[in-house]
Structure 1
Amino acid sequence: MMNPHWLRSFVALVETGGFTRAARQLDLTQAAISQHMRHLEQAFGPLLIRRPRQIELTPAGMALLAYCQELEQIDKRLKVRLSDATADSGDISVISPGSVGLALYAALLALQEAHRGLVIRHRFAPDSEVLDAVLRKQYELGFVTMKPDDPRLKAVSFAEEALELVVPAGTTVTRWEDLDRLGFIDHPDGQAMATRLLMRRFPANPGIRSVHCHGFINQITLILEPVARGLGFTVIPRHAREAFARPEAITVIDGDPGVVDTLWLVYRAEWPLSARAAWVLEKLRQSKSFP
C-alpha cells in the first residue's frame, strides 16, 4: 500500500491546483510536497502535466485520484460501521435456525422499514452452522436452540418457543388413534419434536414411527401446507406456525403438559457487542414477536 502521506499530498495538489497552495493546506513545505510526488511518480510514472498556473492529470494520475477517492469512501464506511453514534444505520448480520428465523426476519425487516440506514443480512442455518459462523466472525449475532458450552461464545437466554401439535382445520384430537388415522407430515426435526411432545401428551403411545408417514418436506415455510390440505398432522415450533400464510386452514391442539424450548442468543465472548447489534437486540426484545 502506498504511503498515506504521499497520497494526501497528491490529492491536495489536485484539489488546490498548485504546490504552494497544497503545502499551505497540509501545513507542509513545498519541498515536502515535491518529494512526495517524486516518490509516487517513481512508482506509477508521470502523474501530472505542469503548466503555468495549471496542473493537468495524466491517465495514470486520473487512476490514482480515483483510487484515493475509493480509499476515502472506504474510510468513511469503516467509521460509520464502528461509530457508536450510528446504531440505527449500517450492517447487521444474523444467523439462526429456520423457525425462529421466520420471526426474526420479519421483525428485522420492520426495523429496517423504520430505519432505512440499516442493512439486514440474515441466514437460515441449523445450530451447528450457527455456532461455526459466529466463531468465524462471519455473523455477529447467532440464535440456537441448544445452549453451547464453548468458552469463546457468550450465550444469553433470549426467548422461549413452544412445540405445537398442528392438524387440519376442524380436526379433533383426543386420543392417539386420532393421530394415527390422520398420518404424519415429517420434516428434518419432525420425529424428534413429535417424540418430545407426544410422549407427554399420550404417555402410553407406541411412538411416532408407528404412525404412517404421509409426506416429508425440508422447507420450513411449507411444512404446514400438506397439513392445511388435510393430508396429515405435524409438530413444529410456534414461530413456524405463526408464519404460515393460511392460519384458517389449520388448528393447534392445545394440551398439557407442553414442551417449551429456550432460544439462546450467542456471540463472541472475547469482545462486547457493537452498539448497533445491542440496539437491534433491544428493539427485537421489545417487538411483539418475542414476548
Structure 2
Amino acid sequence: MINPQWLHTFAVLVEKGNFTRTAEAIGITQAAVSQHISRLEDRYGTLFLRRTRQLEITPVGENLLTYVKEVECAQKRLQQKLIHDDTDTGDISLITPGSIGLTLYPLLLELQEAFPRLNVRHRFAPDNEIVASILANEHELGMVTLKPTDPRITSTYFTEEPLELVVPASQKNTEWPDLQKLGFISHPDGEAMATRLLSRKCPDSPSIQEIPYHGFTNQISLILEPVAKGLGFTVIPQYARKAFERQEDIYVVECGSQVVDTIWLIHRAEWPLSLRAQKAIEFLKGKI
C-alpha cells in the first residue's frame, strides 16, 4: 500500500510547483518533502523533471496524479455514504413475495416521483431467496410470510394478507361440485393456498387434487387472466387480487373465517437502517 502522506506531499507539490512552498503548506521540512518524493520515485520512476525554478511533471507523474484524484473521490463518496445519510437520496432496495410486491412497487414509484434523487430497486422472490438476499446484503429491506429465526435478521410485523377464492364474475354458484366443474387455475403456491382455504369453506370435501386443472402460470400478475375469461377459479393472496385491473370480471367468494398470512418486514440486525429506508417504510405503512 502506498503511504498516504507521500501521496499527499506529491499532490501538493504538483499544485505548488516548488519544494519550499510545499513544505510550508504541509508544515514539514523541505528535506521531508524531498524524501517523500524520492520514496515514490524509487517505486514508480521519475515523477518530475527538475529545471531551474520549475518542475515539469512526467507521464509517470501524471498517472500517479490521476490515481491520487481517484482515491480522493472514492474517499469523498465513502464519507457521504457513512456520514451523510440522506432521507431523499440513494437506493431503496426491497425484495418481496409477488403478491405484496404488486401493491408496494407502484407506491415506491410514487415516493420516487416525489423525491427524484431516490432510486427504487425492487425484486420479486420466494421467502427463502428473500432471506438469503438480506443476509448477502443484496437488498436492505425484505418482506416474508414466514418469520425468520436467524439471529442476524430483525423481523417486525408489517401487515396481514388474507387468501381469497376468486372465480369468474359470471360464476355465483361456488359449492364443491361447482368448483370441480369450473376447474382450477394453479400457480407455484396454488395447491398449498387452495388446500388451506378450501378446507375452511368445504371441510367435508376431497383435496384440491380432485379438481381438474385448467391452467398454470408462475407470473402472479397473470394468474387472474384465465379466471376473468371464465376458464377456471384460483386461490391467491388479497394484494394480488387487488392489483388486477379488471375487477368487474372476477368475483371474490365469501369463505367464512379468513385464512391470513402475516407479512414480516426484515433487515439485517447488525446495523441500523438507512434514513431513506426508514422513510420508505413509514410511507408504505401509511398507504397499506
Q: Output the TM-score relative to the length of structure 2.
A: 0.90
In the other structure, the counterpart of 1:107 is 107
Gaps of 5+ in 1: none
In the other structure, the counterpart of 1:243 is 243
1:195-274 to 2 correspondence within 5 Å?
Answer: 195-274=195-274
Q: For the residues of structure 1 that align with 2:194 and 2:178, how far apart are their CA atoms?
A: 15
Q: For the residues of structure 1 that align with 2:12 and 2:220, how far apart are their CA atoms?
A: 57
In the other structure, the counterpart of 1:169 is 169
Residues 168 and 85 (structure 1), Cα distance of their counterparts in 2 relative to 1, 3 Å cut: same
Residues 170 and 131 (structure 1), Cα distance of their counterparts in 2 relative to 1, 3 Å cut: same
Does 2:28 correspond to 1:19?
no
Indicate conservation of the 8 Å contact 1:81/1:90, yes or no. no
1:83-232 to 2 correspondence within 5 Å?
Answer: 83=83, 85-232=85-232
SS in 2 for 1:163: strand
Indicate conservation of the 8 Å contact 2:95/2:124, yes or no. yes
Deviation at 1:53, TM superposition (A): 5.0
Indicate conservation of the 8 Å contact 1:164/1:238, yes or no. yes
Q: For the residues of structure 2 that align with 1:16 and 1:224, how far apart are their CA atoms?
A: 71
Deviation at 1:51, TM superposition (A): 4.1
Letter in 1 for 2:193: M
In the other structure, the counterpart of 2:31 is 31
The one-character-per-residue Cα deviations of 1:227-278 (angstroms, maximum 9, x if unpaired) are 2222111111122222234333323223421112110111222333233322
SS in 2 for 1:252: strand
In the other structure, the counterpart of 1:76 is 76
Bigger mean CA offset, 194-203 vs 31-40: 31-40
Question: How many corresponding residue pairs?
Answer: 288
The one-character-per-residue Cα deviations of 1:137-172 (angstroms, maximum 9, x if unpaired) are 332222110111222221111111121222223331
Q: For the residues of structure 2 that align with 1:28 and 1:254, how far apart are their CA atoms?
A: 82
In the other structure, the counterpart of 1:57 is 57
Deviation at 1:33, TM superposition (A): 2.6
The one-character-per-residue Cα deviations of 1:73-103 (angstroms, maximum 9, x if unpaired) are 2222222222354122122322222222222
Q: For the residues of structure 2 that align with 1:248 and 1:50, how far apart are their CA atoms?
A: 83
Residues 74 and 108 (structure 1), Cα distance of their counterparts in 2 relative to 1, 3 Å cut: farther
Q: Output the TM-score relative to the length of structure 1.
A: 0.89
Q: For the residues of structure 1 that align with 2:278 and 2:152, how far apart are their CA atoms?
A: 19
Indicate conservation of the 8 Å contact 2:163/2:259, yes or no. yes
In the other structure, the counterpart of 1:40 is 40
Deviation at 1:41, TM superposition (A): 1.9
Q: For the residues of structure 1 that align with 2:52 and 2:58, how far apart are their CA atoms?
A: 16
Gaps of 5+ in 2: none
Bigger mean CA offset, 74-83 vs 138-147: 74-83
Letter in 2 for 1:125: A
